[in-house]
Structure 1
């Protein structure tokens, strides 16, 4: 071999080696990027790998939390579809259920959010990472923070929580200044021929009234709702549970004939025009979208 060729061959080897190292470096960066595309979320059932930036979420519960954080939904439960507050953002979203696994699979979700009571969790988990929540296991604001952690938007969730608490506190002070520090409020709902009074953490604006704004509930309501969070009663005994003010989470498509009875009409809160009627479909949930609306509703109706 000519001595003149040796330097050339050495140079060629160095070039090939450098290219190889560059390729290896690029591969390492790609691997790191791929690893960064998921995060570990500490769920009720232990750690689970979920997308760091989910693009196709199916929410069988808690849809409002996802919407508030600006994450794309491709499927939601039927109850979420009844809330007028979600209507615009859900107009192109599919209605799905825990019983229709095939339809959920067709949507190709990258994350599924469900309740701890949802059926077919194992099957859902084979479609996409599935995270479940137990209703009222944590308070309503912590629930939003947890969804924020799941969706990798914890800062956004905390910012809303801080702002909401400040707004609700100010509203509560203004309302108590008008109706009195000791005025009591009862929240009532009637659905499918059953009547309920609600505790301090059962949606329907209860979290705002009793927790965020610090308004009082009648002692009998507090006693009877303490265990389950709500209490079923008959219209005949309703006067025993109604405080100075009555908030009705009302379904206009249900039987509301109790409001035509003398028993109802003779309740002091009714006679004093201290009844606030809200659209139940807008009042069911306690997610940030619902809470923002409910807070405005209370401010407008108590302070008008």
Structure 2
């Protein structure tokens, strides 16, 4: 609500002259003392603006606040209008004041311009209707400019942030980044702060200290060496900035027991296998059956590592947990939004085996001996399983793993788990030629129609998940009763295993792997 003694602060635009392009455009540059807009419906218009050659194409608009440097060259049989107008009020927003060219305008804007032209030329025209139509045209134009400005800002800020995230160890000045973004240093600073919540120097400091924290997860180098590695000249300056942001010195951070937060089920399972319960983690029903935890220890909105509600719904809980490190797969969208909370240690999603991920996490939490012991016991179990399989089935042959949804079927390779890593890497089964030729070792999985699973023969077929929808079940039943499926060697030898235990086979971690091994051995030796 405004008070009676306060004036509303806003702009008012009044059209004062509306003419066709071919009637007045050639004289307007010298005659006009008011801003104007040129709207081109059809054809092309050639002109110079501030010494630069400009071409207006169909469905384009040019806004000019200062007309001194505008000169018409050629109309090229263009059709359109020129609208001169007065501006009343305080010019707090210059979107419609600066000289600008807008191309590929919407049909609605062009249609409104034609209605403005028609109303201006009508006999006994209604000045209020003309003003209303002109206001609507400006509203559409303003919305287009605002959206375009935000989009352009988003484009360059994303590029700059990506560059800074890669090269923060180097000497990067605000002026260099502004030049890269092709904006003024002042505009760069305003936009950068609006998008990140930090000044440029604060953000650069944040990146360097977070990188220092990640280095200190594994070793305690000399402070001068650490400073050089993250972009500072000497260790005392790094130590001061580190303590300002983290609250403790680099040495104290290195020595303390880390409060760890895990953003997916696999890394939560790795921590549990090491005897550590994360301050916050993602839990599948399978993990909760092994390690029941309170609601306060679980991130909400996650299901099998799929983040449903976004970081915002958990941000307060994450901040309150005060983690010393956040563990996640690389490539997620969480990194930028959680940078202010703690360093994010990212593991390549499909480039590291579950053993390698387990080992790295053990290093972070200083549980290397626990990890080594766990893997040794697992390998002993694998040796026992292979002895049993040698006696019962002999040479392994080929195996294929299917996860069948309601719409499609997915064939999984080792990097995607689902038991395939155990079959191919631990128990000696090989991949059938039908999936090798489809490059599954590089892609990690194949997606096929449910009806096509009969075209991928193997000595052993494992199905770890079945459709949950009726139409998917019907499609699968049709396949299972087909002549093609019935002719498969695995079907005839009764070496097809419908396990349908998605919660267990989804995991690619120590705890899930151990249970998957048990389930696979149960069906192979039954």
TM-score normalized with structure 1 length? 0.76
Q: Structure 1 residues 39, 156: CA separation in 2 closer, same or farther (over 3 Å shift)?
A: farther
**Contact 1:39 / 1:51 at 8 angstroms: preserved in 2?**
no
Match of 2:286 among 84, 102, 111: 84
Alpha-carbon distance, 1:192 to partner: 4.9
| Equivalent in the alignment of 2:90 | none
Q: Secondary structure at the match of 2:275?
A: coil
Q: Which runs of 5+ in 1 are unaligned?
A: 1-37
Deviates more, 1:256-265 or 1:137-146: 256-265
Q: Structure 1 residues 302, 137: CA separation in 2 closer, same or farther (over 3 Å shift)?
A: same
Match of 1:170 among 384, 395, 411: 384
Alpha-carbon distance, 1:215 to partner: 1.2
Alpha-carbon distance, 1:67 to partner: 1.0
**Contact 2:434 / 2:457 at 8 angstroms: preserved in 1?**
no
How far apart in 1 are the matches of 2:254 and 2:292?
A: 23
How far apart in 1 are the matches of 2:457 and 2:386?
A: 20
| Equivalent in the alignment of 1:272 | 493
Deviates more, 1:288-297 or 1:104-113: 104-113
Q: Structure 1 residues 272, 204: CA separation in 2 closer, same or farther (over 3 Å shift)?
A: same
Q: Secondary structure at the match of 1:114?
A: strand
How far apart in 2 are the matches of 1:39 and 1:52?
A: 11
Q: Structure 1 residues 124, 240: CA separation in 2 closer, same or farther (over 3 Å shift)?
A: same
| Equivalent in the alignment of 2:411 | 197
Q: How is 1:3-42 mapped onto 2 (pairs within 5 angstroms)?
A: 39-41=216-218
Q: Secondary structure at the match of 2:291?
A: helix
| Equivalent in the alignment of 1:283 | 505
**Contact 2:459 / 2:490 at 8 angstroms: preserved in 1?**
yes
Alpha-carbon distance, 1:119 to partner: 1.0
- 1:168-218 Cα offsets, whole Å, 9 max, x none, are 133134224422314221100123522111123311111111001111221
How far apart in 1 are the matches of 2:435 and 2:391?
A: 23
Alpha-carbon distance, 1:66 to partner: 0.9
Aligned Cα root-mean-square deviation (Å): 2.6
How far apart in 1 are the matches of 2:511 and 2:434?
A: 31
Alpha-carbon distance, 1:72 to partner: 1.8
**2:298 aligned with 1:94:** yes
Q: Secondary structure at the match of 1:227?
A: helix
Match of 1:113 among 305, 327, 337: 327
**2:286 aligned with 1:72:** no
How far apart in 2 are the matches of 1:303 and 1:205?
A: 16
Number of residue equivalences? 260
Q: Which has the higher contact order (CA 8 A, sep 6+)?
A: 1
**Contact 2:280 / 2:298 at 8 angstroms: preserved in 1?**
yes
Match of 1:158 among 362, 372, 393: 372
- 1:248-281 Cα offsets, whole Å, 9 max, x none, are 1115635333431123751442343212233011
How far apart in 1 are the matches of 2:415 and 2:426?
A: 11
**Contact 1:204 / 1:284 at 8 angstroms: preserved in 2?**
yes
| Equivalent in the alignment of 1:180 | 394
Alpha-carbon distance, 1:102 to partner: 3.1
**2:456 aligned with 1:241:** yes
Name which one, 1 or 2, has greater alpha-carbon Rg. 2
Deviates more, 1:189-198 or 1:263-272: 263-272
Q: Secondary structure at the match of 1:256?
A: helix
| Equivalent in the alignment of 1:123 | 337
**2:431 aligned with 1:217:** yes
**Contact 2:400 / 2:431 at 8 angstroms: preserved in 1?**
yes
Q: Which runs of 5+ in 2 are unaligned?
A: 1-214, 220-228, 231-249, 301-306
**2:461 aligned with 1:259:** no
Alpha-carbon distance, 1:287 to partner: 0.8
Alpha-carbon distance, 1:146 to partner: 0.9
Alpha-carbon distance, 1:147 to partner: 1.0
Q: Structure 1 residues 173, 222: CA separation in 2 closer, same or farther (over 3 Å shift)?
A: farther
How far apart in 2 are the matches of 1:198 and 1:84?
A: 20
**2:449 aligned with 1:231:** no
How far apart in 2 are the matches of 1:283 and 1:129?
A: 30
**Contact 1:144 / 1:157 at 8 angstroms: preserved in 2?**
yes
